[in-house]
Structure 1
Amino acid sequence: MDSWVRFNSQSQAKEKVIRAAQYACILLGYTLQKSGSGAELRKTVSQMEAHMSLTRKLLRLGNSVEALEAAKRAIHFSDGVLRLCLTVSHLNRAMYFACDNILWAGKTGLISKLNQQKWSQRSFRYYLFALVLHLTRDVYELGLLMECEARNRATKVSPLPVDQVYAPSSSPSPAVPNLVIPEQFRRQLHLLLTVLYNNPPLLLDLLKNSCDIFIPLDRLGIYSTGSGFVGACGLTSSVLSILTMIHPWLKLKP
């Protein structure tokens, strides 16, 4: 099992590069369509995108095993929220890859009379649920880090003298209530930006999952954004994934 996981991890970099090229073709096809380019050129780009999609499915054969191994590791996490989110997310990824493998067999003719539309929709549903759980994990970790940063800032602020704390105000200020909400919002925004700036792995994972989630939303018809936006999101998330492979310290752990 471990040897297969190691072998499979070596093909992930190639799959991410091909994924970036695939979504670049989708974005290029949308641009050519908007610019009114020739139908022959658009057909060529569409065929390239289809070939890359089929190649990615081939490279993902057996990824369900790796997802199941990740779920087995996640179930032992001490944090209950992380344990739930990551375990269920990896299980959904395993089902997504399994459906993807069946689609590959149908597209290559190994399985005849396969309802590819049904299996494609089923695959994207598992993919969407996995992304929702990943985003939930990101937001949860972001909340924990913001609480920690807020506590650290509170301990660094020196308390006011007692006579200033209990000194009666000379005159009430009616403008104070109107300034409380904007000031709190500004502080929370500054706190959020500080936490994201100090935690690049969390920032990249949040951006990557936020981009990816529009792909199944569009494919399932839940929130249609168009091929151009889907291509841009897929290309962006692929580049971010490649970046985490080049620099492993940018990958969010666990």
Structure 2
Amino acid sequence: MDDLVNNIIKFNAQTNGRDKLCRLFQYGCRLAWGRLQQTDKKDLLTTLKNIESMLSMTRKLLRFGRSLDFIQGALKSIHLKDGVLRLTLTLSKINQAFYLLFDHFLWFHNVGAVKLDKQYWSDVSSRFYLATLLLNLSRDFYGIYQVIEEELALGESRGNSSGAYQNGEASPRTSRQRKVNVLDVLHQNIPLIMDTIKNLFDLAIPMSALQMVHLSPQKQGLFGIISSFLALLVVWNPTLKLVPS
């Protein structure tokens, strides 16, 4: 019980944790009002839309100044030895810094501090968010490719050492075992799989905002809930965080 309380206190002390929790409720509201669109519950529909808008504004405020964090992260990732990781992670962090920067502009517009073309700057922000997710997915797929290649190489080494090859070809049993090993290694890399799933579900959100795909508010809400829940798990349990990322 004490551990649970300590974890809750630790989670609540993190701005990132509160942001992800707000995001979960934000997309929960979108899912709910999306389901109510075809009903006569107009008051509840309006209330849920207002709550979603307030949560979105709260998240923009919570992330205020985080652009600098991602610029600093880019300066660190540029020194990674792996060329693919160096390129994808550095560009991802730079894009995310710009995405958040333009998101700050929208916050100032929403509170009436400045007057902007909201649709234009929302589209610019969404484009940087989309680029961030595509780069993150490139990093994820590269990571999956790496772990599978390593497992296959290890399987070949074991096959050679155990004499599992006949006339230079792997026996059917060895081939089946390789497939099992690939599944095993993916299971052993839960952070990588979680990050991939999260980014795939997130991808639909900026694509929908930019009208590249047409998703109902219900689907947007559902996808947002799934990705937010996975992000919350990572904040709650840092061992699930993909490294480097």
TM-score (norm 2): 0.87
Identify the residue that residue 233 of structure 1 maps to in structure 2: 223
Runs of 4+ in 1 over 4 A off after TM superposition: 186-192
Contact conserved, 2:67 with 2:100, CA < 8 A, in 1?
A: yes
Q: Which of these two proteins has the greater Rg computed from alpha carbons?
A: 1
Identify the residue that residue 170 of structure 1 maps to in structure 2: none
Measured at CA, do residues 94 and 188 of structure 1 come closer, stay the same or move farther in structure 2, by a change above 3 Å?
Answer: farther
Measured at CA, do residues 63 and 154 of structure 1 come closer, stay the same or move farther in structure 2, by a change above 3 Å?
Answer: same
Shift of 1:159: 2.2
SS in 1 for 2:14: helix
How many aligned positions are there? 226
Identify the residue that residue 213 of structure 2 maps to in structure 1: 223
Determine whether 1:48 maps to 2:59: no
Q: How many Å separate the matches in 2 of 1:29 and 1:190? A: 44
Shift of 1:160: 5.2
Measured at CA, do residues 221 and 188 of structure 1 come closer, stay the same or move farther in structure 2, by a change above 3 Å?
Answer: farther
Structure 1 portions without partners, runs of 5+? 1-8, 167-179
Contact conserved, 1:142 with 1:195, CA < 8 A, in 2?
A: no
Contact conserved, 2:152 with 2:182, CA < 8 A, in 1?
A: no
Letter in 2 for 1:239: F
Shift of 1:189: 6.0
TM-score (norm 1): 0.84
Q: How many Å separate the matches in 2 of 1:187 and 1:62? A: 50
Identify the residue that residue 107 of structure 2 maps to in structure 1: 104
Measured at CA, do residues 83 and 219 of structure 1 come closer, stay the same or move farther in structure 2, by a change above 3 Å?
Answer: same
Q: How many Å separate the matches in 2 of 1:41 and 1:125? A: 32
Structure 2 portions without partners, runs of 5+? 1-12
Letter in 2 for 1:116: K
Identify the residue that residue 5 of structure 2 maps to in structure 1: none
Contact conserved, 1:27 with 1:227, CA < 8 A, in 2?
A: yes
Q: How many Å separate the matches in 2 of 1:128 and 1:189? A: 33
| Alignment RMSD | 2.1
Letter in 2 for 1:118: Y
Q: What is the percentage of aligned positions where both structures have the same residue?
A: 37
Deviation by residue 1:187-226 (Cα, 9 ceiling, x = unmatched): 7864543222111110110111011001001110111122
Question: Which of the residues 57, 73, 80 maps onto 1:77?
Answer: 80
Identify the residue that residue 128 of structure 2 maps to in structure 1: 126
SS in 1 for 2:37: helix
Q: How many Å separate the matches in 2 of 1:160 and 1:30? A: 57
Q: How many Å separate the matches in 2 of 1:205 and 1:52? A: 24
